[in-house]
Amino acid sequence: MTLLSFDRRCSEIVAQTQLLLGSIEGADPTRPVPTCPGWNVGQLLRHLGGTHRWAEEIVRTRATEALPDQHFRDLSPYAEEDPAGLALWLVEGAQLLADTLREAGPEARLWTPVPDFGQVAGGRADFYARRFAHETAIHRADAVLALGAEYTLDQEVALDGFDEWLALGSLPMHFEVHPWMRELLGPGRTLHFHATDTAPEVAAEWVVDLTGDAISWRRAHEKAAVAVRGPLTDLLLIIYKRRPARGAGVEILGDEKLLDFWLERVSFG
């Protein structure tokens, strides 16, 4: 199992931003984004650019506490923007974040919204490199899917994104912040995700284990209460709730209600 390097994650913030803009060139920025209810394509870009700049300031200043984020959560003032100016602003912010991260280095200590735990680099700059590589990739999916186009993602990026999402969704802090997640735990509750379009040596299989006193996950080929099989990118979009679990190319075997329950309860942010 090979995770993306810090430098690759920084590069992906810019690369995914450029791919996003390329995919919507000439499109109507006021088109609604179904996977982000209440937003249109332009507001989606405004949100993403705002998060890039928010993270850049945290890393640049080595912030020790959260910075205000209202400017990229209330998007009502940005319903109709000039697409050309918005695109330039978005690319500039992505590049600025990548440059600031590289200057800081992966081990720079600063505030993050999660603690250091397992595969989550809480308290370090690498958290923001990884988080915003995948945040940008998934918001690209939001825009692409809103326009009815096909979404593709590099295999290495998708693998790292799957690992990261499971790691974030398994943090013990969720039981304090989201107490309803504790209801997921119970005997015999395991989920298996198996990418069907990767080579065996890639080991693109994951088990989510809800049988203990905390949520855990691992890369493994094991029997589970429910198994979900399909192309890697489709599986990633399913766990991010960007596409339905049931649909073309995806096979569900076993306890489908457990899958629905897990998807309903697990979230981050």
pLDDT score for 57: 97
Section 59-63 average pLDDT: 98
pLDDT exceeds cutoff 70 at 268: no
User: How many structural domains compose the chain?
Assistant: 2
Say yes or no: 27 and 126 in one domain: yes
Section 260-269 average pLDDT: 87
Chosen domain end from 151, 186, 212: 151
Q: Residue 218 sits in which domain range? A: 172-265
Nearest to 235 by CA among 259, 255, 212: 259
H/E run at residue 209: strand 205-209
CB-based contact 36:142 (threshold 8 Å): yes
Percent of the chain with pLDDT over 70: 99
Say yes or no: 195 and 111 in one domain: no
pLDDT exceeds cutoff 80 at 183: yes
pLDDT digits (tens, 9 = 90+) for 116-142: 998 999 999 999 999 999 999 999 999
CA separation for the pair 60, 65 (Å, rounded):
13
Say yes or no: 12 and 138 in one domain: yes
pLDDT exceeds cutoff 80 at 1: no
Section 185-206 average pLDDT: 97
Say yes or no: 50 and 138 in one domain: yes
CB-based contact 97:56 (threshold 8 Å): yes
Say yes or no: 134 and 181 in one domain: no
What's the burial of 31, exposed, middle or buried (CB within 10 Å: 0-12/13-18/19+)? middle
Band of residue 269 on the pLDDT scale cut at 50, 70, 90: low
Say yes or no: 111 and 197 in one domain: no
Q: pTM for the whole thing?
A: 0.95
